[in-house]
Amino acid sequence: MLMQMNDDGMSSVQIAKQLRNVVSQLEGVFNRQNERIYAASRLEADEQRGIYQQPKYPKRLIVWLGTSKNGLRSPIIFKPDETISHKNYIEVILQHAQAEGEQLLGDNFIFQQDHATPHTHRESLAWCEENLTFFLDNHRWPPNSLDLNVLHYYVWDAITNNMQCDKVKDYDSLNDETSRGIRHVPKSDLLRSIENWLHRILFILKTKGAFVK
């Protein structure tokens, strides 16, 4: 996770995240052990949609995205099933994040990651220490920062709500609909979500780390 913050309480947050909701049914390998519903009766099971298949190994599409009070930034959409190693994390994501941060805020932003393996690799940490003005190292990362990430608490849902999921048949159409969903996120709603970020920080400080409800 990459978090960028300016001094007036606005934030620009970027994250590499699997877009799970839409891709879960694409070319999945189904596990028959999933064909179970725990219920007190057949009627109750039917009310829970009965038996349905859920892929054990869903296909993935990794999307990196940045946001600010001025709107969503240019995304990085990786190739189907492409994984993130420390090498392409440095060469593709970190350098793009640095450029986006400097374009938005100059040197006045704080860079923060989570504990994904590419993030904690010694070469990734060394690159951040050498190239970023303000960097929170892994000793100061919060244990769970989803409530402080506008992409988690608003943007990803807003993107999927603006996608026409019935049009997703393959990776090309998923890519197109993802880009379409990004373009149609309302700037006014995005701004309100970013303004809410400071209130979330104050709540978590007041409650000594409680989850935002």
Asked if 78 and 148 sit in the same domain, the reply is yes
Residue 213 lies in a domain: no
Asked if 124 and 137 sit in the same domain, the reply is yes
| 3-state secondary structure at position 52 | coil
Average pLDDT of 22-28? 41
pTM flag (> 0.95): no
Asked if 70 and 102 sit in the same domain, the reply is yes
Asked if 54 and 92 sit in the same domain, the reply is no
For the chain, the average pLDDT equals 75
What are the tens digits of pLDDT across the range 68-118?
A: 777 888 888 888 778 899 999 999 999 998 998 888 788 888 887 777 889
pLDDT band at 26 (very low <50, low <70, confident <90, very high): very low
Residue 136 lies in a domain: yes
Residue in this structure with the two tokens 């995304």, named with its chain if needed: 75
Asked if 164 and 179 sit in the same domain, the reply is yes
- Describe the chain by its helix, strand, coil percentages, rounded to 5: 45, 15, 40
Domain, as residue range, for 47: 27-59
What are the tens digits of pLDDT across the range 141-173?
A: 765 567 788 888 899 999 999 999 888 888 888
Residue 117 lies in a domain: yes
Residue in this structure with the two tokens 């303000």, named with its chain if needed: 134
